[in-house]
Amino acid sequence: MAADPRHGPAPDLWDPLVRTSHWGIALVVLANAVFTKGGSSVHVAIGWIGIALLVLRLAWGLVGAPEARFGAFPPQPRAAIAHLRSLWSGKPGHYRSHNPAGAMMVYALWISLAVVIATGLAMTTDSPATIADREAIVTSGDWSTLAGTSDAGDDDAQDEHARKWVKEVHEMAANLMLALAVLHVAGVMVESRALRRNLVMPMIFGRRK
Ligand code: HEM
Ligand code: HEM
């Protein structure tokens, strides 16, 4: 049987783009989920950094370094379950890129982020700079600037309903992403223990010991 090119020792390097986009996305998600006010200019500006990082990383999945390409970690639910079983039995395989269970998690995180971004964009008709201008005016005590903004058609109940719905999905996807991120970190810890190999170091420094 021909050797599966996806198996083998893990890569010596997560290249700089994978590492930068990983920690960048983690920071963006944390900042917007915990520290910024939803819908504020800062929230939207940080959101745009997230959009740029996700787009870059997905493009890298097509043309990037071999371990970073989607083909190196295809979504394979059966293989993911088999990998979780192998962790249980104490004999997990080594993979060049993300292991099959990790790969499913990576796609789930990216999909949730894409939903957060799409719904965030759908709610944002103004640029961060315009929102910042409006915030400054409101802070100065003049609320009139809020009349005539994106949800101006307050008389239009349908619009209002749609916006509420989009906001609901935005929040749900954001919460889902946080829950997945916690599971993801737990998975990294379990896998590191099972393989007796620190998986976090290569994501920080690139090199594996
Ligand atoms: C990247 C991760 C993100 C997370 C974790 C996140 C999280 C949240 C949360 C929890 C809220 C609800 C706040 C509340 O209850 O009022 C919110 C609101 C909002 N977010 Fe995000 N968000 C993210 C990205 C984005 C992006 C990329 C955009 C747009 C480009 C965006 C635009 C908005 C807007 C406009 C609201 C206000 C909704 C409203 O109050 O009507 N968000 N976000
Ligand atoms: C909101 C927080 C986080 C998100 C959204 C996130 C998302 C991701 C994504 C999308 C990947 C795939 C990377 C790629 O191929 O580009 C990944 C990999 C990885 N993440 Fe995270 N991550 C988060 C937090 C963390 C934290 C806090 C740690 C460290 C404790 C961590 C450790 C890792 C490691 C070690 C990998 C590579 C796993 C492997 O060797 O296959 N992540 N993460």
Q: Which amino acid is at 76?
A: Q
What is 82-136 written as a DSSP string? HHHHHHHHT-PPPBSSS-HHHHHHHHHHHHHHHHHHHHHHHH--S-HHHHHHHHH
pLDDT at 191: 94
Beta bridge partners of 66: none
- Ligand 2 touching residue 109 (CB < 6 A): yes
CATH number of 16-145+155-205: 1.20.950
Find the residues whose C-beta lies inside 6 A of ligand 1: 28-29, 32-33, 38-39, 43-44, 47, 50-51, 116-117, 120-121, 123-124, 167, 170-171, 174
Q: Helices 157-195 and 77-89 meet at what angle, rounded to 10?
A: 40
Across the chain, mean pLDDT equals 89
Encode pLDDT of 74-108 as tens digits: 999 999 999 999 998 888 888 989 999 999 999 99
- Nearest ligand 1 atom to the CA of 47 is 27
CA angle 188, 23, 67 (to 5 degrees): 65
Give yes or no for residue 146 having a pLDDT over 80: no
Beta bridge partners of 95: 7
Inter-residue contact 198 to 209 (CB < 8 Å): yes
- Ligand 2 touching residue 83 (CB < 6 A): no
- Cβ-Cβ contacts under 8 Å for 188 (sequence gap 6 or more): 102, 199, 200
How far apart CA 186 and CA 3 sit, in angstroms, is 30
Question: Domain limits of the chain?
Answer: 16-145+155-205
pLDDT at 13: 74
- Ligand 2 touching residue 25 (CB < 6 A): yes
